[in-house]
Amino acid sequence: MHFPLKLYMSSLSTVEAKLEAESKAFQVIQKELSQVIETRQRLESQQQENELVNKEFEHLDDESSIYKLIGPVLVKQERGEAVTNVKNRLNLITSEIERVEKQLTELTKKSELKKQEIAKLQMEYQQFLAAKK
């Protein structure tokens, strides 16, 4: 297949420009994906920590003292308040993890679509180069 040189060059540069733009968009998505994964890992770590604290509460008797670290100071806290705070924190963390999981799913789909678009453009580019010969 032979194209007139002018048409060939403009089409080739159009494909190159699209390929470059899609590659940059893919890099942005990958960076976002990385940040969301990091956020999920941090949340899971916080969740595990709070679940451990919650389990420790089960082993305490009613007379046990509970202290909360506020800045550099340990402050005595009522058992009921401490248990409620940890459970509320766990609920909040769980809902955040769910939100981040949805975000992760969306970004993964976007990433796959961009990969497919880039592969398509690379094939187009190769076809233009092959047609030039």
The series of mean pLDDT values per 10 residues for the chain, 133 residues long, is 50 88 97 98 98 94 90 94 96 98 98 96 87 71
Residue 1: per-residue pLDDT:
46
pLDDT of residue 5: 47
CATH topology of domain 5-132: Helix Hairpins (1.10.287)
pLDDT at 129: 81
Q: How many CB atoms neighbour CB 128 within 10 A?
A: 19
Return the pLDDT at 67: 93
User: Largest Cα–Cα distance in the chain?
Assistant: 90
pLDDT of residue 27: 98
Q: What are phi and psi of 68, to 5 degrees?
A: -120, 135
* DSSP designation for 60: S
Neighbours of 97 (CB within 10 A): 16
Domain limits, the chain: 5-132
pLDDT at 7: 47
Q: Positive or negative, the Cα torsion across 7, 12, 18, 20? A: negative
